[in-house]
Amino acid sequence: MSGELTGLTAAAIAASVAAGDVSAVEVTTAHLDRIEAVDASVHAFLHVAADGALRAARAVDDQRAAGRPLGPLAGVPLALKDVFTTIDMPTTCGSRILAGWQPPYDATITKRLRRAGIVILGKTNMDEFAMGSSTENSAFGPSRNPWDLSRVPGGSSGGSAAAVAAFEAPLAIGTDTGGSIRQPGAVCGIVGVKPTYGGSSRYGVVAFASSLDTPGPLARTVLDAALLHEAMSGHDPCDSTSLDAPVPPVVAAARQADVAGLRIGVVTELSGAGYQPGVLARFSEAVELLESLGAKVGEVSCPHFSYALPAYYLIAPSECSSNLARFDAMRYGLRVGDDGTHSAEEVMSLTRAAGFGAEVKRRIMLGTYALSSGYYDAYYGKAQQVRTLITRDFDAAFEQADVLVSPATPTTAFPIGERADDPMAMYLADLCTIPSDLAGNAAISVPCGLAAEDGLPVGLQIMAPVLADDRMYRVGAAVEAALDQRRGHPLLDEANGLGAAGPGREAGR
């Protein structure tokens, strides 16, 4: 019973709860049991809120019993990245400096989830302050990839991706700044979405890089991602950069799942040297598949994409050096060295040295450097110009194609520890995802098979213009349906990192 419930999609759970076939409490209990059973191995969660989750589930059941209408995802459990503030749970961002911090307010998205009757199971592990591509930068230890526990689940939203891939939750929310949703989604074999920048609220999302941070859904199916996308998105007056525009019709698009006549552009610059052969093979097959489904496929060139990574590693650290200045031991969080002999300035420096991990320190110093007078124009200023050029590349490409496609990541999941001491190698994991963060357009990663050489999942990235998020859902759902049909089962059924514990198979969907 419990295995069956954790194997269900969010859409199926919501339908069953609404129909009264199963209670939200039963669904929640099943997922809490699953977490209990596997999270010691996966370490997707930093905090599990069993009581709060059951309380929220009971409220949904009561609501149904009272005959009041339920939202489209009412009673569905969700894993929330530990970067969203929650009034009833600690919010640490994977950092020692915030260990135990209990925010006095809910993020806008947290509020929307609660209002929608979505059951928040707990907070998921992440690279410290969302800086990283593996969760190895979490102060609380890495999460593990359910396909192979010796490998990373990607990052920074690695805990969220691992939770969904390990059937600990059907839905999760992450944030994408340079690929932090799509990359872990891809390497965990699930769907990860970066909505259009401004499409989902940043209020209550502890900032990494303000002009890039974008909350988005992770799910096992494109439709589930779309349902969550609609539930969490929309204009927020508390976020000045939030777009005052209707949420694109992503659920309808996911249901439409049709690419006939759609123009699909393959980005020339996002392939070739440095890409794992198995990744390129699966990617090519996916493109051929799209063509066979009636899409018009052509190559498009985005010449400035090769400068996206350097531009990103100037813009994001610059903003983070300022955003993270507030962690100074004065008002909340860790305080080190307050023994009466040290000044406030010294206590700040001692606390930040002890509270931040190496990657965060590197980026803060890099950003401080890039913003310094004398360097600003050559680094930060130049990076912003590159950002304009990349956006123009997208504009031109979207003249020729309705959506653009590329691999979501250059490689599959790498072994834990392999890149931990080599920042530049780690940064390459976001090579394909960064351009859309810089330009602010929408992008999704959809599983497209396993790489032959390591048997690990490969993601297909589909990029759509600003506020045309629905297009990529159409394409993603079509690819997903065709591949599932060809394979005879969802890709995740083949995950065996947790041995026989894979509930997908038990469920026999």
Partner 1 sequence: MSITREEVAHLASLSRLALGEDELDRFAGQLDVIIAAVARVQEVAAEGIPPMTHAAGVINVFRDDTVVPPLGADAVLSQAPSAEQGRFRVPRILAED
Partner 2 sequence: MTETMPVVPYDGAVARYDPVFGLETHVELGTVTKMFCGSPAGFGAEPNAAVCPVCLGLPGSLPVINRAAIEYTIRIGLALNCSIASWCRFARKNYFYPDMPKNYQISQYDEPLCTDGWLDITVAGADFRIGIERVHLEEDTGKSLHVGGATGRIHGADYSLVDYNRAGIPLVEVVTKPVPGTGALAPVVARAYVTELREVLRALDVSDVRMEEGSLRCDVNTSLAPRGSGTWGTRTETKNVNSLRSVERAVQSEIERQAAVLDAGRRVVLETRHYHEETGQTTPGRSKEEAQDYRYFPEPDLVPVAPSAEWVERLRATLPELPSARRSRLQAVWGLSDLDMTALGNAGALDLVAGTVAAGAAPADARKWWLGELSRHANESGTELTALPVTPAQVARIAELVASGSLNDRLARQVLDGVLAGQGSPDEIVAARGLAVVSDEGTLLAAVDAAIAANQEVAAKVLDGKIAAAGALVGAVMEATRGQADAARVRELILQRLAQP
Q: At what angle do helices 222-232 and 469-487 cross, to 10 degrees?
A: 150
Our CB check for partner 1 shows the closer of 68 and 331 to be 331
Q: CA torsion angle for 166, 419, 130, 150 (degrees, to 10)?
A: 20
Q: Which of the ranges 51-59, 98-106, 117-125, 154-162 carries the binding residues for partner 2, by CB under 8 A? A: 98-106
Our finding on whether 345 is near partner 1 (CB under 8 A) is: yes
Contact, 215 vs 95, CB < 8 A? no
Residue 138 buriedness (CB in 10 A; 0-12 / 13-18 / 19+):
buried
What token pair was written down for 163?
Answer: 């939770």
Total residues binding partner 1 (CB under 8 A)? 73
Residue 386, binding choice from partner 2, partner 1, none, Cβ under 5 to 8 Å by partner class: partner 1
Q: Which of the ranges 35-43, 99-107, 221-229, 259-267 carries the binding residues for partner 2, by CB under 8 A? A: 99-107
Active site residue 81: yes
Our finding on whether 385 is near partner 1 (CB under 8 A) is: yes
What token pair was written down for 98?
Answer: 């915030």
Active site residue 156: yes
* Min dist. Cβ of residue 16 to partner 1 (A): 38
Q: CA torsion angle for 58, 61, 66, 69 (degrees, to 10)?
A: 120
| Binding residue for partner 2, selected from 168, 319, 470, 480, defined by CB under 8 A | 319
User: Could you tell me the CA-to-CA distances from 435 to 137, 239, 310, 442, 493 in Å, in that order?
Assistant: 23, 23, 11, 10, 32
Residue 82, binding choice from partner 2, partner 1, none, Cβ under 5 to 8 Å by partner class: none
Our finding on whether 356 is near partner 1 (CB under 8 A) is: yes
Residue 292, binding choice from partner 1, partner 2, none, Cβ under 5 to 8 Å by partner class: none
Contact, 186 vs 451, CB < 8 A? no
Our CB check for partner 1 shows the closer of 6 and 134 to be 134
User: Could you tell me the CA-to-CA distances from 503 to 43, 163, 170, 345, 419 in Å, in that order?
Assistant: 17, 13, 12, 52, 31
Pattern 201-220, partner 2, x by CB under 8 A: -xxxxxx-xxx---------
What token pair was written down for 140?
Answer: 């609380």
- On the CB side of 344, CA atoms within 13 Å amount to 4
| Binding residue for partner 1, selected from 59, 99, 297, 389, defined by CB under 8 A | 389
Q: Which of residues 356-385 bind partner 2 (CB under 8 A)?
A: 368, 371-373, 376, 380
Residue 70, binding choice from partner 1, partner 2, none, Cβ under 5 to 8 Å by partner class: none
Q: Which of 95, 133, 138, 180 is catalytic?
A: 180
- Comparing CA positions, the residue from 479, 496, 507, 486 lying closest to residue 191 is 479
- DSSP letter for each residue of 386-454: HHHHHHHHHHHHHHH-SEEEEESSSSSPPBTTSSTT-HHHHHGGGTTTHHHHHHT-EEEEEEEEE-TTT
| Binding residue for partner 1, selected from 169, 290, 347, 478, defined by CB under 8 A | 347
d(CA 328, CA 322): 12
Residue 205, binding choice from partner 2, partner 1, none, Cβ under 5 to 8 Å by partner class: partner 2
| Binding residue for partner 1, selected from 325, 415, 453, 486, defined by CB under 8 A | 325
* Min dist. Cβ of residue 353 to partner 1 (A): 4
Active site residue 292: no
Residue 350, binding choice from partner 1, partner 2, none, Cβ under 5 to 8 Å by partner class: partner 1
Contact, 181 vs 157, CB < 8 A? yes
Q: Which residues in this chain contact partner 2 in the complex, by CB under 8 A?
A: 83-85, 91, 93, 98, 101, 103-105, 107, 202-207, 209-211, 237-241, 318-319, 321-322, 325-328, 330-332, 340, 344-345, 348, 368, 371-373, 376, 380
Positions annotated as catalytic residues are 81, 156, 180
